[in-house]
Amino acid sequence: MSGNRPTRKARAIGINHVALEVGDIDEALAFYGGFLEFEIARRSENAAFIYFGDQFINFSRGRRQAPDDDRHFGIAVDDKGLVRRTLEEMGVELLGGRFLDFLDPWGNRVEITTYTNIQFTKADHVLRGMGLGHLRKTDQAVEELRKKDMAPP
């Protein structure tokens, strides 16, 4: 790129949503609803929006590409072990490695992580609104945040 570059850039604050292409909206809601609690905000034959507090996934009908290998998105949950057991009961093949990764029926790679173990932090009022006000970060997660001067008080 050449030319004049702006001296100031917008700062990314976070991920508001992820858009996933799926083969069928009803099947996507049933699949993801098999292991996650969420609110369906809007739904049509071609799209659905499921909310996790202040963030959402937009399911869009029309997956045409091959399954994902490394490209993925992560969902932070309150109980990763419960998700693992539920996925196994659902017959979902878990991918090898140190993470809880799997492909949804359309080849979207998903990684499940435990909210308390990672830096990603929801505001206290959002957690309370989600009925998760009891969650507390691990010492390691707090230390990672502290190094960035972002630790909770």
Which pLDDT band, with edges at 50, 70 and 90, does 95 fall under? very high
Task: Indicate the SS3 state at residue 109.
Answer: strand
In terms of residue numbers, what domain contains 50?
17-140
No. of helices (H) and no. of strands (E), the chain:
4, 8
150 domain residue, yes or no: no
77 domain residue, yes or no: yes
**Which pTM was predicted?**
0.89
Task: Indicate the SS3 state at residue 33.
Answer: helix
Query: How confident is the model over 87-92, as a mean pLDDT?
Result: 98
Distance CA 139, CA 144 (A): 9
- Match 């009908």 to its residue by tokens: 61
Q: Which among 20, 32, 110, 109 is positioned nearest to 63, based on CA atoms?
A: 20
pLDDT in tens, 4-34: 776 888 888 889 999 999 999 999 999 999 9
First to last CA, the chain: 42
1 domain residue, yes or no: no
152 domain residue, yes or no: no
Quick check: 119 and 145 in contact, CB under 8 A? yes
CB neighbour class for 48 (10 Å; exposed up to 12, middle 13-18, buried from 19): buried
146 domain residue, yes or no: no
> What's the CATH code of the domain at 73?
3.10.180.10
4 domain residue, yes or no: no
- Residues in CB range of 132: below 8 A, 6 or more apart: 78, 115, 122
27 domain residue, yes or no: yes
Number of domains in the chain: 1
Task: Indicate the SS3 state at residue 50.
Answer: strand
5 domain residue, yes or no: no
Lowest mean pLDDT among 59-63, 96-100, 135-139: 96-100
